[in-house]
Amino acid sequence: MSADPPRFPFCASAALAEGRHLKLKMMFEAREEECLLIRFHGQCYAYINRCVHMPRPLDCEQDLVFDPTGLYLRCSMHGIVYTPETGVSVSALCEGERLRAVSAYEENGEVGIADWRVSAILSAA
């Protein structure tokens, strides 16, 4: 087994703009899951798209995952906000709980997923 997880390229770096998100479907721990790929302060992060409060996607009510300040991720159902770098809830509701992080990479103008728990990217979502 190699020391590095397998890489699953998803898009060109330019397709993931600052403060924006893209969604993809992937096989994660042998289940199909939706993943949020975000860019914040230049870095790419990825999270399973499921709120810690209830099993809803963060964009279940609105097609947005960043709050109006652009500084936090926000679930559109009841408004829990998360730090984009860690996925930790900073709301009183579910304070300290965190989104499930997935390892993303960016290299040579390409963004993708590189995580041992992922076996395939299925599609854009």
Q: Which of residues 102-121 bind ligand FES (CB under 6 A)?
A: none
Stretch that binds ligand FES, among 31-39, 46-54, 96-104, 117-125 (CB under 6 A): 46-54
Residue number, 52 or 102, with CB nearest to ligand FES: 52
Token pair of 42 as six digits = 């230049």
56 binds ligand FES (CB under 6 A): yes
25: CB partners within 8 A, 6+ apart: 32, 33, 34, 35, 121, 122, 123, 124, 125
Residue 21 contacts residue 66 (beta carbons within 8 Å): yes
Q: Work out which of 23, 53, 98, 117 binds ligand FES, going by CB under 6 A.
A: 53
Q: Site residues for ligand FES, window 61-80 (CB under 6 A)?
A: 75, 77-80
- Nearest distance from C-beta of residue 105 to ligand FES, angstroms: 27
Contact between 54 and ligand FES by CB under 6 A: the answer reads yes
